[in-house]
Chains A and B, each alone.
Chain A
Amino acid sequence: MAKTLYDKLFDSHVVTEENGTALIYIDRHLVHEVTSPQAFEGLRLAGRKPWRISSIVATADHNTPTNGWDKGLSGIADPVARLQIETLSDNIREFGAKAYFPFMDSRQGIVHVVGPEQGATLPGMTVVCGDSHTSTHGAFGALAHGIGTSEVEHVMATQCLVQKKSKTMQVLVNGTLEKGVTAKDVALAIIGKTGTAGGNGYAIEFAGSVIRNMSMEGRMTLCNMAIEAGARAGIVAVDDTTINYVKGRPFSPKAEQWDAAVAYWNTLHSDEGAKFDATVILDAKDIQPQVTWGTSPEMVVGIDGKVPSLEMAKNEVQRGDWERAYAYMGLTPNTSISDIQIDKVFIGSCTNSRIEDLRAAAAIAKGKHIAPNVKLALVVPGSGLVKAQAEQEGLDKIFTEAGFEWREPGCSMCLAMNADRLASGERCASTSNRNFEGRQGQGGRTHLVSPEMAAAAAVAGHFVDVRDLS
């Protein structure tokens, strides 16, 4: 029978199955400082050891500062944050890992940037991490999703996860994207269509000509945002783009293993005629650069659009949500998106902090300067290696000459656990993934956009259509 890619990945990892509840084997376990300490403590209390240490790749990212690295660990002003970062090092020392990139290591960075960059994420793998944006790794034709801390402990102890099979959704994006329209815009346009609950209970496979023509970094951006559509996992079929990206990375297979791996990876696509439980179709020509206006990623419109009015809400519950969103965001219905002035800009996060993102933002910022009303424009590379690559290409100079701050890698102002955050009432053009109330700082107002759109907003001081800049 014709199988979907999700079925192939799931079925090939089933250890046992009873009444629809399966035990699935986990190939790669990514670990960071925030959701692991209680899991390690649980192992310690029960006298358990990790089942397979070689599956664990760890780094510190959520809490790490993006400046003051010359002072080392003592540069972390918050003692609670410092303890959590040190606790990860202590735990890895005690329990072990295949690889650990601690705070300030040249390869440290956001776990979802580091994994693929190191070749620690491979096609056909099951990948978990105590972080919802683990869906990112599905870009490689891997089954990857976020788990809670109890499950982090469970995977460490047993190498398995108790799972029920998800339903499958195919999201087809056909046609060709206009210049200036990016993977981020595709992701936001999809969420605008499905809603943030649309993917609940589903694994999404992204397909169609737009995805086939997308780089691996674009596919990672897209799969990263699957969780914002409600789907724990987003997947893209393996093709030459995938294989070329993986080749030669530190943990990628070598020599004869490489050939065997490639032969297997080339089977990782949905079979002709495979049935999905749901299908969503978008046409690339309808996708403009997107800007969120509210406090949920589904509250999104094109750059030509306006903040919607209450009559457009689908029901009473949504009316209530929108009214609260207007008040929180300090916006009135029918305001043109291009009239919204910003205070800060954040370019970074596991969604958009890879080298292509930085190149695209730098191309917009080159030879220009951030607007006088923009108090801070941060560029936070996704990893130490992305940072080094960008510096080699001179991108850091382009950004700093344009008035941006060039920082050290980490999650930074995407979730504002470190010192990088919005003050109450500040409005930010952000390349991150969540515009929830308080996400980037209590009272802070987030508008999600692509790196190009964020850079363009930094220069103009308000949102502008990047398509008009070339």
Chain B
Amino acid sequence: MQAFTQLNGLVAPIDRANVDTDAIIPKQFLKSIKRSGFGPNAFDEWRYLDQGEPGMDNSKRPINPDFVLNQSRYQGASVLLTRENFGCGSSREHAPWALEDYGFKVIIAPSFADIFFNNCFKNGMLPIVLNAGVVDGLFNQVAVNEGYKLSIDLSAQTITTPAGEVHSFEVDAFRKHCLLNGLDDIGLTMQQQDKIKAFELKHQQAQPWLFN
């Protein structure tokens, strides 16, 4: 996994609550057996005016000019600012894959759905929870300042605005450690394999029917 340490990135706002993973990457793209290439279809139904299908040449499709990410001022954004319960619904990891492939590294919201939140960390992305008032303030700032960027420092757990205002955020210590160092979860867990084997043996003795 790619490490995440710091980022100074352009912010794009999606001013909606409860953005679900079906919206982030519609189901027809889940037929792929690959892990990459989902970026051009991130937010497909909001982003294009036609109906998207796998295998289409996305550069030739009609763009929805009303969708915020299609505005020229947000091209190249790497920080997504959004509202509560982002990533709800389906557990599809294709959602963070699509956002990451699109270019987002950080997502800021007042809250996230649990499975999506967890999936982000597996893909070198940092979801940040800030209180709703602070998020409101950031939405206002982005609206009036073209080219609005935020500096995110995972090690210090801070977000710094262009005006120098600093917002701290919480992050689980283990996830932070993995993200900062780009550590593969499986490799880490395999270091515990003796403990897993010991547990398994005990578990099998207690509930043998689980191992039939």
Q: Which residues of A contact B (CB under 8 A)?
A: 13, 15-16, 18-19, 21, 23, 25, 27, 34-35, 37-38, 41, 46, 48, 51-52, 54, 62-63, 78, 80-81, 83-84, 87, 122, 124-125, 130-132, 134, 145-151, 153-154, 157-160, 162, 164, 196-197, 200-201, 227, 230-232, 251-253, 257-258, 260-261, 264, 296, 298, 317-318, 320-321, 324, 415-417, 424, 434, 436-439, 442
Interface size on B, residues (CB 8 A): 59
Indicate whether B146 reaches chain A with its CB closer than 8 angstroms. Answer: no
B58 to chain A, nearest CB (A): 15
Indicate whether B192 reaches chain A with its CB closer than 8 angstroms. Answer: yes
Of the candidates B22, B96, B192, B207, the one having the most CB atoms from chain A within 10 angstroms of its own CB is B207
- 10 A-B pairs within 8 Å (CB atoms) are namely A21-B174, A34-B92, A54-B211, A158-B189, A158-B196, A257-B212, A415-B22, A417-B30, A442-B26, A442-B45
Contacting B115 at CB < 8 Å: which of A38, A153, A232? Answer: A232
Residue numbers in B under 8 Å from A264 (CB-CB): 207
Residue numbers in B under 8 Å from A437 (CB-CB): 22-23, 45
Contact B189 A160 (CB under 8 A): yes
Task: Bits for B47-75, please: 1 = Cβ < 8 Å to A, else 0.
Answer: 00001001100000000000000000000
Indicate whether B180 reaches chain A with its CB closer than 8 angstroms. Answer: no
Of the candidates B15, B91, B92, the one having the most CB atoms from chain A within 10 angstroms of its own CB is B91
Task: Kindly specify which of B4-12, B31-39, B160-168 makes contact with the partner chain.
Answer: B31-39
Task: Kindly specify which of B80-88, B100-108, B149-157 makes contact with the partner chain.
Answer: B80-88
Contact B93 A35 (CB under 8 A): yes
Contacting B193 at CB < 8 Å: which of A34, A80, A158, A257? Answer: A158
Kindly state the separation between the CA atoms of A130 and B17 in the bound complex, as whole angstroms: 24
Kindly state the separation between the CA atoms of A131 and B91 in the bound complex, as whole angstroms: 5
Contacting A25 at CB < 8 Å: which of B93, B96, B186, B199? Answer: B199
Q: Which residues of B contact A (CB under 8 A)?
A: 15-18, 20, 22-23, 26-28, 30-35, 45, 51, 54-55, 83-85, 88-93, 96, 111-115, 118-119, 122-123, 172-174, 185-186, 189-190, 192-193, 195-196, 199-200, 203, 207-212
Residue numbers in B under 8 Å from A196 (CB-CB): 18, 85, 88
Residue numbers in A under 8 Å from B92 (CB-CB): 34-35, 148
Residue numbers in B under 8 Å from A164 (CB-CB): 172
Kindly state the separation between the CA atoms of A317 and B190 in the bound complex, as whole angstroms: 44
| Known contacts A38-B33, A81-B31, A150-B93; is-contact A16 B186 (Cβ 8 Å) | no
Residue numbers in A under 8 Å from B209 (CB-CB): 122, 252-253, 257-258, 260-261
